[in-house]
Amino acid sequence: MLNWIKRQLDKLDSPTLDWVQVEVTTHCNGLCIYCPHTFMHNGWTNRHMPIELFNEFVPFLKHTDLVYLQGWGEPLLNPHFFEMVRICKGQGKRVGFTTNGMLLTDDTIKRLVDLQLDIVAVSLAGTTATTHNQIRKGTDLDLVISNLERLGTIKAEKNSQAPAVHLAYLMLQSNFHELKEILPLARRVEAKQVVASNLALIVDPNLADEALFHDIEGVDDYRNTLDKIRENASRENIIFDYHGPNLDADSLRCRENVQRACVITVEGEVVPCVFTNPALSSHHIFQGESLPLRSMSFGNIRNESLTHIWNKQEYAAFRELFDPETTKKPERIRQAMPQCCVKCYKRLGI
C-alpha cells in the first residue's frame, strides 16, 4: 500500500528532464591514456548494469526526452545493450550513446539501424591514425573510420537516416593541430555534429600540461582556430561546438546540464555528472594540486524512484546553486558548493 501511494505521488511530482544518462557498463576494450578507466586500472571495478536494474529506471522514461547510454566504459560491451535501446525506443524516446567505434561490426550496425537508434557519437583524439592511436590506445582510427563508412552504406541500403553520427574530439596540446582536418573527416563519415572538448578531468599528473587551458599564451590562437572551424562547419551544415578553451576563474556555472539532466551509474546511484561517480576513487590534478576525487550520490534507483531522488531537498538545493536565475550572492554560492564542484574545471567555463 505504501509503495502504491509513493508511486502515485511520484506521478504527480515527476520533473521533465532534457536527458538521463545511464552508465550501462564500466568494462572497456580501450586504454585511452587520459581516462580514469586506464589510469586506475588495478583499482577499477568492471561491471555491466544488469537489465533488472535498468528496468527500475523504465517507469521514469516518460519524464525524459533523451536517454544517453553512456558512462566510464564501452556501452556495446553490455550484453543487454540492444535490449536497453529497444525498451527506450519502444516508449518513443530518443536514444544515443558514445562509443570508441571498435565494435561497430556490420551485424551491430544493422541492429542499431533496425532499432532506429538516434545518435551514435564516436570519440576521437586525432585525425591521423598515428596521433589518435597513441592517445586512444587500444583503438585504431583507420578501423573506426571504415566502420563509420560501413554505417553510411548500411543506412543507405536500409533507406534510413538513423542513427545520426556525431564526433567527439578530445582536444590536447599535442593533437590540436590535427583538428583542422576534422571537417573533411566529418564529411567523409557523414557526421552531423562535432563536439571538441577539453581535458576536464586530469587523473594522470603527466598529462596536466596537455590541457589547452594550461597554455595561457596559446589560448587566443586556439580560440581563433576553433572559431574558424565553427564558421566553416556552419557553411556545411555541420554543428561544431566547443567550450573554453580558457578558464573563467569567477565562473559559478557548471557546463554540465545539472539543472535538467542527471546520470545513473552502473550501480544505480543518481549523480549530477560523470565526475561525481563513486566509481572514481583516485586523485585528480586541479590547478597544480593533487586532490582526492570526491563522489556525490543523491540516492540509488534500487531503493527509491528516480522522481523521489530528484525531488529530495538536498538535490534541489544542489541544483539551485547552479540556477542561472538564482538570487543568491556569489560568496554564498561558493560557500555552499560541494568541494567536488569548487575544484572542477567544468565549473570554470570549459
Q: Which residues bind ligand SF4 (CB under 6 A)?
A: 28, 30-32, 35, 37-38, 72-74, 100, 136, 254, 256, 258, 272-273, 275-276, 340-341, 344, 346-347
Report in angstroms how near the CB of residue 305 gets to ligand SF4 at its nearest.
Answer: 22
Q: Which CA distances in Å does 190 have to 100, 141, 157, 250?
A: 17, 16, 15, 39
Report in angstroms how near the CB of residue 340 gets to ligand SF4 at its nearest.
Answer: 5
41 or 158: CB nearest ligand SF4: 41
168 or 219: CB nearest ligand SF4: 168
185 or 252: CB nearest ligand SF4: 252
Kind and range of the H or E element at 284? strand 283-286
30 or 245: CB nearest ligand SF4: 30
Burial class (CB in 10 A: 0-12, 13-18, 19+), 108: middle
Q: Taking Cα atoms as reference points, which of 239, 225, 67, 231 lies closest to residue 165? A: 239
Report in angstroms how near the CB of residue 157 gets to ligand SF4 at its nearest.
Answer: 28
d(CA 349, CA 80): 36
155 or 319: CB nearest ligand SF4: 319
Report in angstroms how near the CB of residue 334 gets to ligand SF4 at its nearest.
Answer: 12
Residues in CB range of 92: below 8 A, 6 or more apart: none
Report in angstroms how near the CB of residue 98 gets to ligand SF4 at its nearest.
Answer: 8
d(CA 130, CA 137): 11
